[in-house]
Structure 1
Amino acid sequence: MASGGLKYYLARLNIAEKLIGINVLVFIASGLLAVLIGIPKDAVLNWFELPEDVNEFITKPWTLVTYSFFHGSLGHIFWNMLLLYFFGRIFLNLFDNQRFLNVYFLGVIFGGLLFMLGYNIFPMLLSTNAILIGASAGVSAVLIFVCAYIPSREVRIIFFNIKLWQLAVFVVLKDVISLSMGSNVGGMLAHFGGILLGYVYATQLLKGNDIGSGFTKLWNGLAQLFKPREKKAPLKTVYKKKTSKNKTKVDYDKAAHQKKIDDILDKISKSGYESLSKAEKDFLFKAGKED
């Protein structure tokens, strides 16, 4: 594929698909380093996995995010990315890329913090050395967010339909049973961190409170640090003819388009996704693709 074609293809991917691509590339690259160069996989993971020991974490604070890009097995990454793909599509039909990143990475961070907190509060867990890898906390946050925001919407699971709130109950019960059986305790703690974040984010957003607004400001601030500075052009005196306050047709079209989106989202928050007409659902789906 030519470089131009590749750039076009990458530009068409939504943010969830780009995250999936990054995770897959990291998984392949970490495996190739071990096979082709002879670098042990554990030696690579040691710099990116999240440890349960707080003192060790202080020396590697970036691991609170980087752990989510590494997976222990093919099955581990396959199921995480499959869920991220399907629920990412639903999410992005409702909201923009920034809100998706807010939910996903706040889920990753909160899941990592709950993992460390659990291992340092409960003595029975301290007898084992543990590390955390995998995108499960972020994926759980996105999944539960969608289920809590539009609980009455139905999705197809192989041969039958199921409401999203029912799917959320199943996911939570599955993790509770796994935790009670002592199966992958650290991973389950991270899951619950993502689940809690996704639920609180969705329920607060339905009340008009965006708990991720601070994260958006932080994200934008970091982006500005790495943005190349533009050279200031010399000052010029420019005479312009005063324009009227009348907006152009393009401005009106954009404003009308955004107002229609806002009206539909308000309707969802008040009456649920199922209250939308087919035309409104189609419009929202196309608007999500345009973002």
Structure 2
Amino acid sequence: MSGIFDDFKREFTKTDNTLVRIILINVVVFLSLLLTKVIFTLGQSSEAYVWLVDMLRLPAAPREFLYKPWTIITYFFTHEEIFHILFNMLFLYWFGRLVDEYLGSKRLIALYILGGIAGGVAYVAIYNLLPYFQSQVAGSQMLGASAAAFSVAVGASTLLPNYTFNLIFIGPIRIKYIAFFYIILSLAQSIGPNAGGNLAHLGGALTGFLFIKFLQNGTDMGKPLYVLMAIWNNLFRRRPPMRVTHRQKEVQRTASAYSSAASPASVEMPDQDEIDSILDKISKSGYESLTKEEKQKLFKASQQK
């Protein structure tokens, strides 16, 4: 058992492993709730489990939400059904790795969180503003990472619409068609038993689309989140003991320069020859053959007007 925990810890602490961290948080919450449900059921305290999950679900009623404002975040890290989390995490992984490669881990986190929040806001608004749903507000609650995953999927599809996935029994298909199919499916299911949840997907999808379009025009919607993430990281970062020597300063300076050179923000705007070379490489070998730096240069070039 300790080996399993060590594996989880090792994966979570790896650098440049943001997508896996998001998935691990969802899995840990799911397994914790599953174990808690078994314990409470055997102890004939099922009502305690229901109360616990209610503290994580997003309620549709505004008055109830005011007592549980944290649920606008917790709901998109919480699942109860195995197929619900399995589908969401696979969906997130397929599209999330593209966002991570082309835009970096910070923007992946921003897409996930902003999409989840937008989906939650859409859910509450729909249930309280549309007459069709107003009679269902009382007792309606939502959980699951679908809206956040949709944000990442549509973001990736907006950024790389012609990127292809090889689907079983279907073959290669462009990701823009996959995203479009699931958007239409969510609309079609908007009058079913999970109507609010399916419409919340559209809030996440719209966020993913707008995030990339704004980014391509030079505006990063994730900047407020980056500030919060920096503050969070500084709170929990271990600070090494201070030792002032001339040699160590040189080492630190060198390491800092290397880190800066390796960061996505430091990638220079490519000239036309570089762009043509990258495009030729794509036509011959596909997007997968590009290095991370080439992908970042291609994205920089797309921002040039």
Select 1:141's aligned residue among 145, 151, 169.
151
- What does the per-residue CA deviation read over 1:154-184, in whole Å, with 9 as the maximum and x for residues that have no partner? 12111411112222221211111111x4341
State the one-letter code of the partner of 1:174.
L
Which sections of structure 1, spanning at least 5 residues, go unmatched? none
1:124 partnered with 2:132: yes
State the one-letter code of the partner of 1:11.
T
Select 2:88's aligned residue among 80, 83, 93.
80
1:93–1:285: 8 Å Cα contact kept in structure 2? no
User: What are the within-5 Å matches in structure 2 for residues 235-246 of structure 1?
Assistant: none
1:118 Cα deviation after fit = 0.7
1:67–1:132: 8 Å Cα contact kept in structure 2? yes
Q: Equivalent residue of 2:94, what SS? A: helix
Determine the structure 2 residue equivalent to 1:57.
Answer: 65
Determine the structure 1 residue equivalent to 2:123.
Answer: 115
1:185 Cα deviation after fit = 1.1
1:104–1:139: 8 Å Cα contact kept in structure 2? yes
Select 2:76's aligned residue among 57, 68, 84.
68
Determine the structure 2 residue equivalent to 1:42.
Answer: 50
- What does the per-residue CA deviation read over 1:260-291, in whole Å, with 9 as the maximum and x for residues that have no partner? 98358999xx99x9665459843218999xxx
Q: What is the TM-score normalised by the length of structure 2?
A: 0.76
Determine the structure 1 residue equivalent to 2:299.
Answer: none
In 1, the alpha carbon distance for the partners of 2:246 and 2:59 equals 61
State the one-letter code of the partner of 1:14.
N
In 2, the alpha carbon distance for the partners of 1:265 and 1:195 equals 31
Select 2:112's aligned residue among 100, 104, 112.
104
> Is 52-61 or 88-97 further displaced after alignment?
88-97
- What does the per-residue CA deviation read over 1:43-97, in whole Å, with 9 as the maximum and x for residues that have no partner? 2111111001111111111000001122231111110011112112222111222
> Is 153-162 or 49-58 further displaced after alignment?
153-162
Determine the structure 1 residue equivalent to 2:303.
Answer: none
Select 1:153's aligned residue among 154, 158, 163.
163
> Structure 1 69/90 Cα, relative in aligned 2: closer, same or farther at 3 Å?
same
Which sections of structure 2, spanning at least 5 residues, go unmatched? 297-305
Determine the structure 1 residue equivalent to 2:33.
Answer: 30
Greater RCO (Cα-Cα under 8 Å, separation 6 or more)? 1
2:11–2:21: 8 Å Cα contact kept in structure 1? no
> Structure 1 86/266 Cα, relative in aligned 2: closer, same or farther at 3 Å?
farther
State the one-letter code of the partner of 1:35.
V
1:42 Cα deviation after fit = 1.7
Determine the structure 2 residue equivalent to 1:221.
Answer: 231
Q: What is the TM-score normalised by the length of structure 1?
A: 0.80
In 2, the alpha carbon distance for the partners of 1:126 and 1:208 equals 39
1:103–1:198: 8 Å Cα contact kept in structure 2? yes
1:153–1:274: 8 Å Cα contact kept in structure 2? no
1:47–1:63: 8 Å Cα contact kept in structure 2? yes
Aligned residues: 276
1:51–1:116: 8 Å Cα contact kept in structure 2? yes
In 2, the alpha carbon distance for the partners of 1:33 and 1:232 equals 41
- Percent of counterpart pairs with the same letter? 27
Q: Equivalent residue of 1:155, what SS? A: strand
In 2, the alpha carbon distance for the partners of 1:177 and 1:264 equals 43
In 2, the alpha carbon distance for the partners of 1:26 and 1:258 equals 32
Determine the structure 1 residue equivalent to 2:174.
Answer: 163
Provide the aligned C-alpha RMSD in A: 3.7
State the one-letter code of the partner of 1:66.
T
In 2, the alpha carbon distance for the partners of 1:103 and 1:68 equals 13
1:199 Cα deviation after fit = 0.4
2:123–2:200: 8 Å Cα contact kept in structure 1? yes
1:113 Cα deviation after fit = 0.5
> Structure 1 65/223 Cα, relative in aligned 2: closer, same or farther at 3 Å?
same
In 2, the alpha carbon distance for the partners of 1:2 and 1:252 equals 37
> Structure 1 275/198 Cα, relative in aligned 2: closer, same or farther at 3 Å?
farther
Determine the structure 2 residue equivalent to 1:11.
Answer: 13
Select 1:189's aligned residue among 188, 194, 199.
199
In 1, the alpha carbon distance for the partners of 2:154 and 2:129 equals 26
